Every structure is written in structure tokens, then in C-alpha cells.
Structure 1
């Protein structure tokens, strides 16, 4: 199946650059540095983890980077709105594992929700799984996805919907951008199944991830192959491996010497924001 037949079509780095000019990139870089600076120091012996933040931060980043309007609330289909181009943007945030060198591993990322069904039909999922009515299960989510997209399109007269998928990994943040093709929702088919989930074919290029419906969560989830996206030049990257590293210490001990603590904070700030030298 070609890219044009998938529900999600990932953009190349060159295509992403058409949306992200230098100013937008620098705005996100600045806001990301603020988040990095707020990450707590590690306790002695504690291992580093991916950058921690909330999805609401990301919505603010994109609104600031492009002066777009924030419109999303709760489960609304889009988070920000580009009025000039009639484009809605749904912002996702996932986490992927990295190796000791800060490079993505071949493991898939964690999940992000594509659609949840707690209505009457969704509450019958246990029965549908028990009876192995997988086509009927998928049909429920086809309807859910179609209605979700239609609401945003009608509310804002949208001509396009994009997914901005931020991928955390070590001390870097990457962005994948995918265009939503709602006309292809009907082309979704049932893939492999288990007692607890149904894989969905044709949602996206399987090289870059998959979509899956879970019985217990009553939702469809997206997972990506961050390493493959990176290798194929499909990601925009903000990398702070050289400028930032979490230190192992007891901060309570550090603050006992006020002068030493002030020097520590100053150096951390300068290293991150000004590459070790204040302007």
C-alpha cells in the first residue's frame, strides 16, 4: 500500500521544515530549555530518564512558535488552529528508549490515544472480543474516528489536519509530523488479534509504527518506531546531549553552602542557555 492510502502520512524532514521556520524552531528550543532547567537533579545512584513534561506545555509551545490559536480542551479533536491556512493540529507526546549514546533503540515507543469509546457500544467490547467479532470492533472505531474528525472540520471549516508527534528520548526532543487523510479511514482492516487487542492495518506505514484497539482501555492507541523515523529523515530534532546532563546529588547538602549553591545554579543556567558563557 502506498503512503497516499494510509490514514496517517508522515512528512519528510524537508516537508516539516516548510512548517517550522527558524523562528519557530528557536521558540520551541527556548521553551524546551526552560523545561530542561526545571528537571530535578537525580538522587545518588539514580539513573537518568527521559524529559518529563505535560502535554499542555506542548500546546503552548506550538501556539507561541506560530501564533496559532489554542482551541483544544479535554478530548477535542485538535489542540491548536492555524486560521490563515485552515489547518487544525492535534499534538501528541510519546516516549522512546535510547541507548547509552542517546540514540533511539529499535523498541517501539509508548502509546498515545487516537480515540476512546466509553459510550454504550464501547461498553460491549468484552462481549465482542469474547465472540471474536473483530470486524465489528474495528467498525466501532471507524465511526468514532470519522465523527471525531468531522466535528473539528465542521467547527473550524478545516482544509487539513496535522498530527505533531513529539518524541522524548534521553536529553533530546524530536518531532514527527503526519498529515491525516480521513477519507482512508474506511480502508482500515483487521490485522493480527489477541484476547485483549486488535491490530489495525493501513492506519500508517508499518515501518513507522502501528495502531491497536485495546479491550481493557476501550481505546485505539498509536505507537511509533522512533529509530526508523530518525534513520529515514522524518524527524526534526532538538538535541541537548552536550549542553545538559542530570547530576546525581542531594540538593539539601548543596544548599547548605549558599555561595557554592549560587555558583552551581549560575553554571547550570549558563551551560544550558548560553553554551557556558553569558552574553
Structure 2
């Protein structure tokens, strides 16, 4: 990670991985792990992740002027590079306005599910100006939204102060993309109700799997895993917080779509 910019490396498995190092803030890498693994438990599409040991002699030459070899003495957070994908940004919006293009999106409703996922995790960095979404176009007639970059969950890593609802401007619901893909009506109401119903089941899965996820966090990151687990359990899984998330989700839908 050069600032917030990752590096692309080819690993021993001959796959390309997008790697971030924890030079200053290993807590951000921790958030990346939690966000990605929880997304999988929510059945959201997200790139495969791994802990990657980057040998300093294998650092791509183009990064040597912006990173130091010492940054890579600890395992990096790695996200599998999806070659046939595009970052969803304003340049893609005209394509989404095309009905033929929209019909190729196989998991369209996941955009709203991702929005609730972000509310629950306090993700402040997926919004109208920065989607942190990939559109996987590996299959010619089936495109899939993939979530990535979860470094700003827990209200930008401030869980020690409790979890807070993200603002309207910090939600993907309040974007042109959401308005293009969804319209008010009975269909939207049913979609929202199904997402909310699934929400409570998904959070239970995350609660059940949390301890096993934390076992794999690299010791070299120097994090107090026991304390982090207590913070997550006491903030994310309370009935009050989940009810607040549902109400905020429904209110944002009502106000913006």
C-alpha cells in the first residue's frame, strides 16, 4: 500500500494479487479481512483474499520509488485480481442506463444488500463518489457486482468509540447508480423486505464465525485480537444496533429511490 494505493504482484500460485501492507495502520488490514470475510458470509460477491508474503527482492520496480522494502516485513493483505472487471464509476453510468446492459447484471439486487451491509459495518467509504465496486465481466452475458476495499469500516476504524450510523452521503443508496437500477413500486418494496429478512440471518452467521475468522489474523500485525473481538461483539450484534440499521436502510431507500 502506497498511501491507500495497493500494489499488484504475481505470487507463487502464478495468480495476480492486489496487496496492501500495514506499514502504519495494521488495523486497516484487519478491517479489510473482516469486511471481506463477512461479505462472503452475506453471500456477496467479493474477490478471494489471502495473506501474502511479499519478498522485498520481488517488489515491482515501478513501486521502488514510493515504497520501502521494510514495509513488507509483515504479511500483506491480498485480494485476487479479477482481470475482466471494471471499477464502477461515473464513466460506466451511461452503460447502466442501457437496458440491454442492465439485463446482463446477474446480481442487481445485491447493490441494495451491499448498502445495508455498509450501514451495519459503519463503512464510510462506499458512496456516490467512490463505489468501491467492481463489475466482474468474466462471463460475456452475466456481470456481477463485487465489493472490495473495506478499510474504512467501523466508522473509519473508530470502533473503540462505538458504532455509528453512516450519513446519507456515505451510502451507495444515495447515488445515480441506485436510481438507475431501481424504481419505486411493489417490486422495490419486496426486494427491500427480502434483504432485511436475510440481514438478520447473515449477521447471525457472522457472529457464529467471528472467532474462527480471528484465529487466522497474522500475529505479526501486533493487534489485540481479544479486545477487537469484544468490541465487535458488543457493537455489531446487538438487537438495538440491527434494528437501527434496518430503520436507517429503509429510510434512505424511501428518501432517495
**Fold shared per TM-score above 0.5:** no
Higher RCO (Cα < 8 Å, 6 or more apart): 1
Report which of the two has the higher share of helix.
Answer: 2
